[in-house]
Amino acid sequence: MSQSNTWQAGATTAQASVWWVGFGLVVGVLGAALISPLYALYQQAWQLRPSDISLIYVLYMCGGLCALLFLGRLPDRIGFQRVMLCFLCLTLAGTLISMLAWNLPSLIVGRFVVGLSSSLITISATTGLTLLASSASTGLQPQRVAMVASFLNVLGFGLGPLIGGVAGQWLPQPLTTAYLVPLVLGCIGVAGVVTLKLPESVLRGAGQLGQAPGRLHWRDCLPRLTWPVHEDSLAFALTCGYPFVAFGVFGLYASMAPLFLQQMIPWSGPVVSGTAIAVILLVSAGIQLVAASLPLHRCGFAGMALLVLSNGMLLLNLQMRSTLLFILGVCLTALGHGMCMLAGMTMVGRLARPDNRAGMLSTYQTIGLLGSMLPMMAVGWIADHWSIKLAVSLFACFVMLLATLLGLAFARHPRMQEVAD
């Protein structure tokens, strides 16, 4: 009887650990995109230029890139719980700095810290869920870890702009009050991770997988980027073009939507841009589940075709100012984004070998983050010197051209047309 009670207590502890790690992941990334609907308010309050807005976004993404390149192996070396706790606290610090920011440099510091922390929270939480799934008492199946982690990640990122949009539209002093929700929930997340008690089976599994806490070596902080063998080089280059375009299109909405929406639709505000960003993230995640059975080359071509159509609608709507066209364009952007990300990740899995999988995935994600940074710098600079309308128009034309070329080349390449084993 006592053994049964011990097993039940262990199962309850394991299930609670899964819930707390999942909750920590959601609240850890909640503040990442929360600021996006508030950019127009910052612009009005501080007289910022469009390039200042793009700089805030780019340096936030730079924080995520630094985490990916230099700190991605921390959870394996010192344990996911320590990393998650450390960077949840750092996220709270970055969010607090953002809330108390008094000028552009102080806000940039806060956003860089949030970008750095959110990436490490995602990596460490995914590692933690993988370890917890190895224990049968958690109820989490190992083959579902990637899907669960991806869903929780998107949920956190998607809720952020909704909260920011509502606060920016209706709450007093929105540049302060918008940050209260992630601060409160983040404190709860920290408390949960602090009290986390991992089952013995999970600790043993971590040791067997080489993921038990150990000493950190400086080599663990060196970037690990790899490229496939020569015969797969073109296929991988085309594959890396997919996150470059998809991240870039999302980056336009995440950074510049509050600035150009007022030129597209007769009514706008933080809640409109926040909802648009959330829809893109949530629908993108949903379509990846629905389209998983499509042949890879058709999925990739359809994703790029949808991004071509959505950017064509964006270009047209700068002239027509149609609410219906805007809604349709956002929906097509979400569908295209999801199918492009699905095709890209699937192709990386097909091209990679066990010895270079992690390095190829890092290369793929790095190029995607650059796609979210470099075009936004150009958009901000063009908007400063001419107009936001011209900047968005040129960006849309660039995406339409690049997406057309990538989609056709991807669909016709023999490696993409192979049937998966």
Per-residue pLDDT of the chain (421 residues; tens, 9 = 90+): 455 544 454 556 667 788 899 899 999 999 888 999 999 999 999 999 999 999 999 999 999 999 888 888 788 778 888 899 999 999 999 999 999 999 999 999 999 999 999 988 988 888 888 888 776 556 666 667 767 787 888 888 889 999 999 999 999 999 999 999 999 999 999 999 988 877 665 555 555 454 555 566 667 677 778 888 888 889 999 999 999 999 999 999 998 888 888 778 877 789 998 999 999 999 988 888 888 888 888 999 999 999 999 999 999 999 888 889 999 999 999 999 999 988 988 888 888 777 777 788 888 889 999 999 999 999 999 999 999 999 999 999 999 999 999 999 999 988 887 755 4
Tokens linked to 5: 């009670």
Q: How confident is the model at residue 306, as a pLDDT?
A: 96
Query: What are the angstrom distances between the C-alpha of 298 and each of 3, 246, 310, 402?
Result: 54, 17, 18, 17
Angle at 121 between CA 291 and CA 91, to 5 degrees: 125
Backbone angles phi, psi at 163, to 5 degrees: -65, -45
Instruction: Find tokens 């309850």 and name the residue.
Output: 12
Q: How confident is the model at residue 78, as a pLDDT?
A: 82
- How many of the other CB atoms lie within 10 Å of CB of 401? 12
Q: How confident is the model at residue 52, as a pLDDT?
A: 95
Q: How far apart are CA 51 and CA 371, in angstroms?
A: 17
Q: How far apart are CA 176 and CA 64, in angstroms?
A: 24
Q: How confident is the model at residue 202, as a pLDDT?
A: 57
Tokens linked to 238: 């085309």
Q: How confident is the model at residue 135, as a pLDDT?
A: 65
Backbone angles phi, psi at 214, to 5 degrees: -150, -165
Q: How confident is the model at residue 420, as a pLDDT?
A: 53
Q: How far apart are CA 300 and CA 329, in angstroms?
A: 19
Q: How confident is the model at residue 81, as a pLDDT?
A: 87
The domains found in the chain, sorted by start residue, are 12-208 (1.20.1250.20), 224-421 (1.20.1250.20)
